[in-house]
Amino acid sequence: MAVQRDGVGQIFVATFTSIDISAAQDLFEIVAPSNSRIVIREFEIGQQSDAGDGLADMLGLLFVKGHSVTGSGGATITPVNLAPWSDLAAGATVKRNNTTIASGGTALTLRATAWNVMGGYRYYPGFRNERITLNYSERLAIRLPDVPTSTITCNATLVFEEIAAMGG
């Protein structure tokens, strides 16, 4: 578990590189640990295979919180702690590219936007009160609900802060 120090949580990054995407999916799924909250600081995605494509896709992106059942078909990621002096591991569970999406529970779409694959997409809220926050054991899926016209090779980064309960 990441321990809060001096009122600041530990910051972690989860990435995937050169993944071929040809289906709708949860690009990232993150579950907060039972004793920490998660603050999403940044999400970025870009593709590297369709440069100059005249038929560039506009794909939907959804940030969905509240599912109770994890997705499948992807892989689990071990997040990296960005503090070089700390060996604390993330308590959050992070998955990537689940082609069977998270389900169940009471889903709440927090953001709905579009991604022009030629330009990439970045979620980077400037103010803390604008950042998506997950309470204990909550799940967030960053979802690509659309099927790309053709396979695209993508890189993506999810940066999050893990804040332990006071006294934890």
**Which tens digits make up the pLDDT trace of 74-95?**
999 999 999 878 888 999 999 9
Cβ neighbors of 126 (< 8 A, separation 6 or more) are: none
Q: What would the pLDDT profile of 3-31 be if each residue is shown by its tens digit? A: 444 446 899 999 999 999 999 999 999 99
pLDDT at position 142:
98
Give the position of tokens 């998660």: 38
pLDDT at position 4:
41
Q: What would the pLDDT profile of 122-148 be if each residue is shown by its tens digit? A: 999 987 788 999 999 999 999 999 999
pLDDT at position 20:
97
| pLDDT of 2 over the 50 cut | no
pLDDT at position 1:
42
pLDDT at position 50:
76
Distance from C-alpha of 155 to C-alpha of 149, rounded to nearest angstrom:
18
pLDDT at position 53:
60
10-164 CATH pick, 2.60.40.420, 2.30.29.30, 2.60.120.1330, 3.30.70.920: 2.60.120.1330
Q: What would the pLDDT profile of 36-60 be if each residue is shown by its tens digit? A: 999 999 999 999 887 766 667 899 9
Q: Which residue type occupies 114?
A: A
- 3-state SS class at 164: strand
Query: What residues does each domain of the chain span?
Result: 10-164
